[in-house]
Amino acid sequence: MTIQEKRWMDMDNLRALCIRHGWFTRGDCKAYDKFLNMPYDAKGTQRNITTKLLYSMARTIMQYSDPETYDIIEVAGIMYSLGQICNTTFYVSEV
């Protein structure tokens, strides 16, 4: 038996999370748009949200946010917050 986990994220939920935490206030529109599209591939399809992608997104948030909005929770806390807004499903296949 093989079990796969797939996670994806909605752009609106990502935007709401940033607003709620006061993140990404130092980025311009181009950087913010690029960030909001990180959960999507080049075709605009939602892609699987991996730990590596969560880390990259968290580092981007830290780059474009005031440090006082994340200094207590640091990168792991930002990743946790991002993970909370992900939708998760599991696929089981009998091999």
Residue range 25-47, pLDDT digits in tens: 999 999 999 999 999 999 999 99
Does residue 56 carry a pLDDT above 80?
A: yes
pLDDT given for residue 80 in this prediction? 98
The mean pLDDT of the chain is 96
pLDDT given for residue 69 in this prediction? 94
pLDDT given for residue 87 in this prediction? 96
Counting Cβ atoms within 10 Å, is residue 39 exposed (0-12), middle (13-18) or buried (19+)?
buried
Q: Is 44 left (phi over 0), alpha (psi -120 to 50) or beta?
A: left
Q: Is 74 left (phi over 0), alpha (psi -120 to 50) or beta?
A: left
